[in-house]
Chain A
Amino acid sequence: MAGTGVVAVYGNGSALTEAKKSTFSVKVGLAQMLRGGVIMDVVTPEQARIAEEAGACAVMALERVPADIRAQGGVARMSDPQLIKEIKQSVTIPVMAKARIGHFVEAQILEALGIDYVDESEVLTLADEENHINKHNFRIPFVCGCRNLGEALRRIREGAAMIRTKGEAGTGNIIEAVRHVRSVMGDIRVLRNMDDDEVFTFAKKIAAPYDLVMQTKQLGRLPVVQFAAGGVATPADAALMMQLGCDGVFVGSGVFKSGDPVKRARAIVQAVTHYSDPQVLADVSCGLGEAMVGLNLTDDKVERFASRSE
């Protein structure tokens, strides 16, 4: 494809013959519309409808929530497209689905299904230990996880239009999500006060592209929408992440593994909208039934999904 001015897509003999482009602003635009919202993991069309009724701004369609992936083990892959199609037909809000890190064909399939976002997720088993998907080659926008600023900017340079913290999915334990968001926001705070001449070395230190580090410095925030994810189980958890500086929240196992998913889903949505109003938070936290039991991360046997990829 040399000389056509088109970025070569996956080398010679690839299945894709035309350049796929969608302006980056349109990709980020949808994430901007999701700000202040909650995105919930659902495994059936019925759960998807519950999520929509509760006020979720989008749903993540999958076969197994992270807590079940942990419990059952084995290789976790992209879900059956039939399930994703059924979930897409049952709601009018955006639908997202997960693809394995580096598995660009799973992403191509998800794009062909016409869903709204792909989550290149460390919760699924890695398909490529070294590389992530080149997200610029797709018209569908991607959301990727991060543990620190460097990782976030590397994903953005690869073409991610939305970032979430990795947290520790499926544990119902907010500690890792807090660690990750504090790391990102902390680095941004340091960056904001840094002398411009020092940014080159800082970019090298966090292994991130200089231009994005500089853009982050000028904006005082990541250049894309940043959500919290990984371990949110209660309205208080959700509001904590919002107050720490996130634009919205993903809730995975936290809703449908709890005692009363309908009530809890609504409570978490209210908590994210009114995150700085303790009276509302108190009201919505009352009488929610059991939260998901969760896992304590002091146990060495708990696998750390977040450290699977850099």
Chain B
Amino acid sequence: MVVGVLALQGSFNEHIAALRRLGVKGVEVRKPEQLQIYEQHESKRSLCSRLFPALRDFVKMRKPVWGTCAGLIFLADKVVGQKSGGQELIGGLDCTVHRNFFGSQLQSFEADLPVPNLASKEGGPETCRGVFIRAPAVLEAGPDVEVLAVYPVPPDSALIDQLVDSQEGEKKVIVAVKQGNLLATAFHPELTVDSRWHTFFLKMASEIEEGASNSIVTIEGSDMTLDQHQRIDLPIFQ
């Protein structure tokens, strides 16, 4: 199995390293050709603007996709808290996501998240360490969306008004969801040693593969790279 990791920016090296630890090959994807489902066009538009339609097709073809943090935002059908003018989305996840929900860097944090679904499928402790870096949060999830983890919002927080549904007691936001072929987390499992989210995604991908006739991710073998030396990983700070 080969997993494509969108390598435009961010911690893609960390994802590839996490996959490598599990013995799975991760390939950096920067162009639609590398998804090998999009025909090559002589297009004058920027590569990015060709990449998004390719990714939307990828999602529509029910191929397994996992979005972390910014990835969650791209996959969402509805986003609030965007820059003026909004941003291009891939869509597919029936959720309303709030960008930078918790605030800027000073509000970034690590927390022990209770993850009963993950623990029952992958074993291990009942909680996992969630690293939230300027993280988004899911305010609302559609009926077909499976909620995998929630995080409580402190009662004195200014964010409380953002929450659309009224609940008794402690208010929570959703931080991990699954909908069919889509998995999305607001936090960064690749920054921790816990690889259960990655194994969860790989199992999800194999289940989908068994159902479909094509192989999961057809990625072009090499991207024409001149950069020979292997990107080495950053340490995982405990």
Using CB atoms and an 8 Å cutoff, list the residues of chain A in contact with chain B. 22-26, 28-30, 32-37, 49, 52-53, 55, 57, 88, 91-95, 111, 114-117, 139-141, 215, 219-221, 223-225, 243, 245, 266, 270, 273-278, 280
Contacts and interface: CB of A to CB of B under 8 A. Distances in A.
Interface residues of B, number: 46
Interface of B: 7-14, 30, 46-48, 69-70, 81-85, 99-100, 103-106, 108-110, 131, 133-134, 188, 191, 223-227, 229, 232-238
A253 to B, nearest CB: 23
Nearest to A29: B133
Contacts of A266: 46
A223 B233 CA distance: 9
B237 A25 contact: yes
Contact of B9 (A35, A49, A94, A116): A35
Contact of A33 (B7, B48, B69, B225): B69
A225 B234 contact: yes
10 contacts: A25-B110, A25-B191, A25-B237, A33-B133, A35-B9, A49-B84, A52-B83, A92-B100, A270-B47, A273-B30
Contacts, number: 125
Which of A220, A276, A278 has the most B CB atoms < 10 Å from its CB? A276
The 3 A-B residue pairs whose C-beta atoms are closest, nearest first, are: A25-B237, A116-B105, A36-B9
A119 B142 CA distance: 42
B234 A224 contact: yes
B23 to A, nearest CB: 21
Contact of B10 (A33, A93, A215, A224): A33
A186 B49 CA distance: 38
Contacts of B104: 88, 94-95, 114-116
Contacts of A220: 232
B133 A35 contact: no
A26 B108 CA distance: 7
A113 to B, nearest CB: 10
A49 B12 CA distance: 26
B94 to A, nearest CB: 23
Given A91-B83, A276-B224, A114 B234 contact: no
Given A30-B134, A276-B227, 8 more contacts: A26-B110, A28-B234, A32-B11, A33-B69, A92-B100, A94-B104, A221-B232, A221-B234
A273 B108 CA distance: 26
Contacts of A111: 106
Contact of B235 (A22, A53, A223): A223
A277 B224 contact: yes
Nearest to A248: B9
A31 B191 CA distance: 12
Contacts of A95: 104
A114 B84 CA distance: 21
A243 B226 contact: yes
Contacts of B12: 35-36
A273 B9 contact: yes
Contacts of A36: 7-10, 12
A140 B34 CA distance: 38
B8 A273 contact: yes
B105 A30 contact: yes
B131 A116 contact: no
A243 B8 contact: no
A117 B104 CA distance: 10
A250 to B, nearest CB: 15
Contacts of A221: 232, 234
B131 A92 contact: no
B10 A29 contact: no
Contacts of B47: 270, 274, 280
